[in-house]
Structure 1
Amino acid sequence: MFPAACAIALLCLVSASLSAPLACEDLLRPLDQLNLRHLEGRWALVAGSLSHLPYLERFKQRDSAAVNFSSNSTEINVSYTRSLRLNNKCQYSSYNITMEGSSFTYDGTDKSNASARFVHTSCHDCMLMHMDVESGKRQHFYLFSRRRQLEQEEIEEFTAQVECLKMPPPVVMDPTKELCPEETAADPTAQTEEETEGQKNLETIKRTP
């Protein structure tokens, strides 16, 4: 009886060890089907993580951020405007992207070395974006939602996904911080702190939706 119990326990341990990688694979699986109509509109940034620690520290400094998607003339061409509030000042940047399933690439040369994909999430009104920059040298992982604040279990799922990517613990945005107004162009008098640091830093900000 005892040997049989040991054998069963051993099989359970082996099964658990084999299932662990599958759990991460399931957590990070690409979105099965992207509904462009669902994508349209404004999404507030709820949490995010960046693999490059200096950029992560700068990410923590922002007050709020959001993206606003709009479809173009075809189902594969989409544009979005990113708004970022830092030190009570807003910056806007617009991008055109080309969709391919649940993945997309940026049009133009400024982000030609960046690609992204939408990842599955159990949150019903969330959007999860995983970006690879410079051929995977850096990873950006962002959780957006129609809501400003999510339930604890939804944040815990995102945290588990970040851990699967072996990235630093996610930064959760303060839902009380005001979002920038929905605009398509930046106010020329509203310069962020990064913009005063030169073109190199501006390019860094552009890579952070």
Structure 2
Amino acid sequence: MSVQLCLALLALSSLTAASDPDCDELTKPLEDRSKIHGKWIFHVGTSDSEEQLKAMKSIYSSWMELSPLPGSDEFSLRYGDKYDGKCYYGTVNSTTSGNSVKVTFYFNSSACEHVGKHLVTCPDCAVWTDETTSEVNGETKRSKSIYLFTRTGKLDPSHLEDFKKQAECLDFSSEFHYPETTNLCPDEQEAAADVKTEEQ
């Protein structure tokens, strides 16, 4: 009986392994950082922290623009977030060490540090996963998150499924936030550039 049970378990485990996503492939770091340069629209994300997921869900829409800093591997991150019916803008610079990238956001007197990496993903997509450390009222809080951005705000359903598999490989829950991808904060720099072009 024990032999039959072992054979049944072996057969079951081989079927399970065959249906499991190839996590090594799905979680490969992106080597060519030039692929992340440009403007991106936040499409979907999740976190292992209920508090962080709640904060993520408060974002109505969000875009960011990544620009390389001359003479280094670093980049500048410019963003426009819409929540509570208002637009909030900012710019921060990255610090890179190997495949790890650190970006720190400052809000009033507190700091929120994101340390993570970009993963290989679909064309015209960017996937970022990180660990966040923040100080709230003197208390240190940590969480992990994963985000998918697209250049156009549109995403093929098969690419969304691939992202969900990536999240599963990294032990995230199945609860995702899907912000608005069309009603974005206006890009003040682009508007200023358009005005200059018209004046010329």
The answer to whether the 8 A contact 2:45-2:176 is kept is yes
Deviation string, structure 1 residues 48-106 (Cα, Å, up to 9, x no partner):
11111122122112210011111112231211112100133111121111234443123
Range that drifts further, 165-174 or 75-84: 165-174
What is the aligned-residue RMSD (CA, Å)? Answer: 2.9
Alignment-derived partner of residue 132 in structure 2: 133
Deviation string, structure 1 residues 153-181 (Cα, Å, up to 9, x no partner):
111111122222222322122334x1112
Kindly tell me the number of residue pairs found equivalent between the two proteins.
174
Q: Write the letter of the residue equivalent to 1:171.
A: H
Please give the secondary structure, in 2, of the residue aligned with 1:154: helix
Distance in 1 between residues matched to 2:51 and 2:142, nearest whole Å: 14
Q: Write the letter of the residue equivalent to 1:173.
A: P
How big is the shift at 1:128?
A: 0.4
Alignment-derived partner of residue 172 in structure 1: 178
Percent identity between the two aligned chains: 26
Higher strand share: 2
Decide which of 33, 37, 42 is 1:40's aligned counterpart. 37
Distance in 1 between residues matched to 2:18 and 2:97, nearest whole Å: 30
Distance in 1 between residues matched to 2:178 and 2:157, nearest whole Å: 11
Alignment-derived partner of residue 119 in structure 1: 119
Q: Write the letter of the residue equivalent to 2:44.
A: A
Distance in 2 between residues matched to 1:140 and 1:124, nearest whole Å: 21
Distance in 1 between residues matched to 2:115 and 2:93, nearest whole Å: 12
Relative to structure 1, the CA distance from residue 170 to residue 145 in structure 2 (aligned partners, 3 Å threshold; closer, same or farther) is same
Deviation string, structure 1 residues 11-66 (Cα, Å, up to 9, x no partner):
654444556777223211212x2232x32221000001111112212211221001
Q: Write the letter of the residue equivalent to 1:116.
A: G
- Structure 2: where are the runs of 5+ without partners? 1-6, 134-139, 190-200
Distance in 1 between residues matched to 2:164 and 2:141, nearest whole Å: 20
Distance in 2 between residues matched to 1:136 and 1:30, nearest whole Å: 25
Distance in 1 between residues matched to 2:63 and 2:28, nearest whole Å: 24
Distance in 2 between residues matched to 1:23 and 1:149, nearest whole Å: 25
What TM-score, normalized by structure 2, do the two folds share? 0.73
Relative to structure 1, the CA distance from residue 119 to residue 136 in structure 2 (aligned partners, 3 Å threshold; closer, same or farther) is farther
Distance in 1 between residues matched to 2:181 and 2:43, nearest whole Å: 8
Please give the secondary structure, in 2, of the residue aligned with 1:172: coil
The answer to whether the 8 A contact 2:81-2:89 is kept is yes
Relative to structure 1, the CA distance from residue 49 to residue 74 in structure 2 (aligned partners, 3 Å threshold; closer, same or farther) is same
Q: Write the letter of the residue equivalent to 2:152.
A: R
- Structure 1: where are the runs of 5+ without partners? 1-6, 185-209
Alignment-derived partner of residue 195 in structure 2: none
Relative to structure 1, the CA distance from residue 29 to residue 108 in structure 2 (aligned partners, 3 Å threshold; closer, same or farther) is same
The answer to whether the 8 A contact 2:78-2:91 is kept is yes
Distance in 1 between residues matched to 2:9 and 2:105, nearest whole Å: 55
Decide which of 147, 155, 180 is 2:152's aligned counterpart. 147
Alignment-derived partner of residue 203 in structure 1: none
The answer to whether the 8 A contact 1:41-1:68 is kept is yes
